[in-house]
Structure 1
Amino acid sequence: MEQVFIPQGYQTVMPYIIVDDAVKFMDFMKAVFNATEKMVRRRDTGEIMHAEVFIGDSTIMFANSLTDWPPMTAGLYIHVADADATYKKALELGAISVQEPDDKDYGRSGGVEDPFGNVWWITTTKP
């Protein structure tokens, strides 16, 4: 396989999500998943043209939707320290339950759909 250069702080595959309100989407990720802002580029209107956040060691890219670029949602699987607390926080901030957290052979996991239509599978894995 050919050697690929990947810049520092990026991964081989990263989601790129288009939402109707990228500012609120970023706020949701910061509040629920402790995301940290990496980069934000805005259009003249103030809307987010391109943004990136870190969640742990992963990068999520996203932008505001446009007429030519309608919302594109994703399914995301995220490892957290406490699946129950993270699930509860997501619900408090407007997510809806897809599946309440329950015990699995690998740990504890549940799912939510965020206010932007993305589904997050929130998991705490057994060591």
Structure 2
Amino acid sequence: MAALNLPPNYQAVMPYLILKDAAGFITFAKDIFDATEQMRTMRDDQKIMHAEINIHGSTIMVAEQTDEYASQNAGIFVYVADCDSAYQRALDKGAESILPPADQSYGRSAGIKDPFGNTWWVTHPLS
């Protein structure tokens, strides 16, 4: 196989979410996971055509749903510095609990469903 020459700030596999209220999703990710916005392109109707956020070196692409492109949600596993506080911040921002924080063999982990229909598994890795 030939060597893969990826552009800077990109990984070989990245989620691409099409959502109702893509801008709200970006705000949620910034508030809960300290995401940084890498870029945003708007449509004529001032909705997001394409945006990219980065969570600790991992890129998520996102766009606003349209009549042609329906919502496409995801299940996302993300490592965080503190599972309990990320879980609580998510609930405070309108997420619903799927699984409260608990110690697992791989770390402290919890599950939430964000207000945009995505499931997040937030985990603080074992030391």
Instruction: Report TM bin, short chain.
Output: over 0.9
Per the alignment, residue 54 of structure 1 pairs with 54
Q: CA deviation at 1:96?
A: 0.4
Residues of 2 paired with 1:69 and 1:38: CA distance? 23
Per the alignment, residue 91 of structure 1 pairs with 91
**Counterparts of 1:23-102 in structure 2 under 5 Å?**
23-102=23-102
Per the alignment, residue 105 of structure 2 pairs with 105
SS at match of 1:67: coil
Moved over 2 A (4+): none
Q: Match of 1:23, as an amino acid?
A: A
SS at match of 1:26: helix
TM-score (norm 1): 0.98
CA offsets per residue over residues 39-66 of structure 1, 9 Å max, x none? 0000011100000011001000000000
SS at match of 1:23: helix
Number of equivalenced pairs: 127
SS at match of 1:27: helix
CA offsets per residue over residues 69-104 of structure 1, 9 Å max, x none? 010000000000000000000000010001001001
Per the alignment, residue 10 of structure 1 pairs with 10
The unaligned stretches of length 5 or more in structure 1 are none
Residues of 2 paired with 1:28 and 1:107: CA distance? 24
Q: CA deviation at 1:4?
A: 1.7
Residues of 1 paired with 2:5 and 2:66: CA distance? 31
SS at match of 2:40: strand
Q: CA deviation at 1:107?
A: 1.2
TM-score (norm 2): 0.98
Q: Match of 2:82, as an amino acid?
A: D
Residues of 2 paired with 1:115 and 1:85: CA distance? 18
Residues of 2 paired with 1:37 and 1:57: CA distance? 12
SS at match of 1:124: strand
Q: Match of 2:59, as an amino acid?
A: T
Q: CA deviation at 1:2?
A: 2.2
Per the alignment, residue 118 of structure 2 pairs with 118
